[in-house]
Amino acid sequence: MKKAELEMRIIAPISIAVLVASAASVAAQPATAPSPAKFVAYYQNAYASGRDLVPGPQQVLDLDGLVTAPRLETVIPEAALTGNAFVDAQNTIIKLVGAQGCQSAQQLQLGEIRASCSMLSLAGLNAALQTAAAPAGGAFPCHFLGANSGQPSVRFAECFFIGPDDHAQPLSEYLIRHGLAFAARAPNGAAVFPEYAAAEAEAAKAHVGIWSNAAFRHPYGERYRQNHTN
């Protein structure tokens, strides 16, 4: 078993327990704009109930720039907000372009943990952020492809980290290969990055993560229902 896979198995159950407790504590509070202290829990609780409050891009993203002229910026991740978005140390929301978290409320089993698909996806990103940031002292680089104006500030990116084989690995692909997210798709169903669709197919075939549940129903509509330009 690879080191990264072992870390995911150890961290994910702890993350799920923390997120479940967080969601329960916030559930009874009014759904108004959050104070800074409640920011993370507000987004996590909404996502756990199947609502993704992080919007998709307002304009077409510059996907070609990722290949032709990558511009990397170092970010320090703080916490996952959804299955494919997190907040950094500057209180900026960063949404991964290539991955789509699960928003299904279907109850699934992952190891000894039973939780909704959305909770598993949320916990999966939280664990992956720790894994990705560990080799570089709590940070990793991202290439930003666009941003939304207004508040909260949302930037759209593909982020990378050094894997156990000492090669750069996209965070989106890592989530998809571990069965914790899906390949993001356009409204017509085409994958934003075809190689991530291939990674999703391999994860499904290997029955890893979410795919390890025989009764799992792939939420094709839900995975890009609310973010048509993601």
**pLDDT confidence band for 220 (50 / 70 / 90):** low
pLDDT in tens, 36-63: 547 899 999 999 988 999 999 988 888 8
Statement: residue 227 has pLDDT above 80: no
CA distances from 134 to 123, 138, 210 (A): 17, 5, 24
For residues 124 and 118, what is the distance between their CA atoms, to the nearest angstrom?
10
For residues 100 and 187, what is the distance between their CA atoms, to the nearest angstrom?
13
Q: Determine the angle formed by the axes of helices 117-133 and 39-48, rounding to 10 degrees.
A: 140
- Residue type (1 letter), 119: M
DSSP SS3 for 160 = strand
pLDDT in tens, 165-205: 888 899 999 999 999 999 999 888 889 999 999 999 999 99
Statement: residue 71 has pLDDT above 60: yes
Residue 224 DSSP symbol: G
Mean pLDDT, rounded, for 72-87: 95
Residue 88, phi then psi, degrees to nearest 5: -105, -175
Residue 205 CA, chain-centre distance (Å), reads: 21
pLDDT in tens, 94-129: 999 999 999 888 888 777 778 889 999 999 999 999
Statement: residue 83 has pLDDT above 90: yes
Mean pLDDT of the chain: 79
Q: Which CATH number fits domain 3-224: 3.40.190.10, 1.10.10.10, 2.40.50.90, 2.60.40.420?
A: 2.40.50.90
Please name which of 188, 205, 203 lies closest in space to residue 102, comparing C-alpha atoms: 203
